[in-house]
Structure formats: C-alpha cells, structure tokens
Amino acid sequence: MTKSEIILASNNLNKVREINALLCDTKYKIIPQSKFNIVEAEETGITFVENALIKARNAAQYVEYPVIADDSGIEVDALKGEPGVFSSRYAGPDATDKDNLNKLIKNIKLLDEKKCSARFICSMVFLRNADDNDPIIVEGIWNGHVITTPCGENGFGYDPIFYVPTHGCTSAELSDKQKNELSHRGQALRSLTKKLIAEEKKFDTNIP
C-alpha cells in the first residue's frame, strides 16, 4: 500500500509513534514537522480546539502537505479542570513530563478526596492545505480518575497516574494495543480517519 503522508504539527516523537501505530492499517503515514524545521507555535488558545487549529495553521504555512494537529490534556474535576489546556506546561514553559506529573501529584495530595475523577481530552484537526477554511475537527474523551502513586512504564505524560477503572490499572500499565483502543487520541483519530475516507469516496468514484 502506498502511504499518503500527513504532517503532524508537533515535535513530540511519542505522539508520532502513537498516531502511526493507530494508522498502521490505513493509507496514511505521519511525518513530524521537525523534518521540515518548523518551529512549534505558541499555544495561546483557551480551548483544546483553538490550540490545535493554531498549531495546524502554523505548520501548514511551511509545507505542501495536509496537516494534522492535536491538542490534548488531562482535566481533574476536584482541581476545577486543571491542568486542562496547560497540561504540557503545567509546571512552567520549559517543564518536562516528569515536572508536570510531579506538580499534579502534589496538587492532588492537597485534596481531601480518595478518588479524583478525571478525563483525558483530545481535539484533533485536519487541514488539507494552508488556505483550508473548512478543517475537519474531531474530539475524543477518556474518563477515569487520577492517583498519587505512579504505576507503569508504558505511555508518556500523565499516563502513570491516570487510572482506568475498566481495566484495573493505569494507562501506563496498558499495552499499546489496549491503550490505542481506549484512549482519547485513539478515539479522535478513528473519527478523523472515517471522515477522511468518506471525503475521498465523495470525490473519487473508483473508491468502493
């Protein structure tokens, strides 16, 4: 199968790996924007969708490929939705995954709650080109709760403290296959893939 390349408006190689794994049975292949020396856009939006659009439009200026961008994060109800859109920079603009994780654990420990309901959210957009005024926008939501003792070595970001009640473990303890079936990003990407295939069929009568 000849793969159609799509630029991912991110330099996060974990995201590239995860999304390509989700797309393995499709005609699409993700290429990180770092291959084109694109500087990451400043995330100034107040919603996940706004930030995803900012990142996608920034990358689309520099390439002649379609672009995918996602903005995702975790919301903890007892923290009034924090870290939310600030998930990737919760502990500061240059924070590492570990820095962000430790700050969230510290803040959760200050709460007088045995369980903190939370959710991962992913907003994903697809731009056909830099002038696309009708982007495809999809969303995935993964509900669970957060714990204060990290468990598991798989995944990245907040995965070690995101507990999945249906499986009795954290996201970081799931296999790649299990996580892709459940995750917010997996949900969003499956929705996007369906929309892309439907759009191709609309304009190409040779597609069954």
Domain residue ranges in the chain = 4-203
Q: Confidence band (pLDDT; 50, 70, 90) for 204?
A: low
pLDDT of 62 over the 90 cut:
yes
% of the chain with per-residue pLDDT over 70: 95
Known active-site residue 70: no
pLDDT of 205 over the 80 cut:
no
pLDDT of 20 over the 60 cut:
yes
Topology adopted by domain 4-203:
Maf protein (3.90.950)
53 compared with 205, residue with greater pLDDT = 53
65-114 per-position pLDDT tens digit:
999 999 999 999 999 999 999 999 999 999 999 999 999 999 999 987 76
Q: Confidence band (pLDDT; 50, 70, 90) for 207?
A: very low
Which of 71, 77, 94, 131 is the catalytic position? 71
The reported pLDDT for the residue numbered 60 is: 96
The reported pLDDT for the residue numbered 47 is: 97
Q: What are phi and psi of 45, to 5 degrees?
A: -75, 160
Mean pLDDT of 5-25: 87
Task: Kindly report the number of other CB atoms within 10 A of residue 207's CB atom.
Answer: 10
The reported pLDDT for the residue numbered 136 is: 96
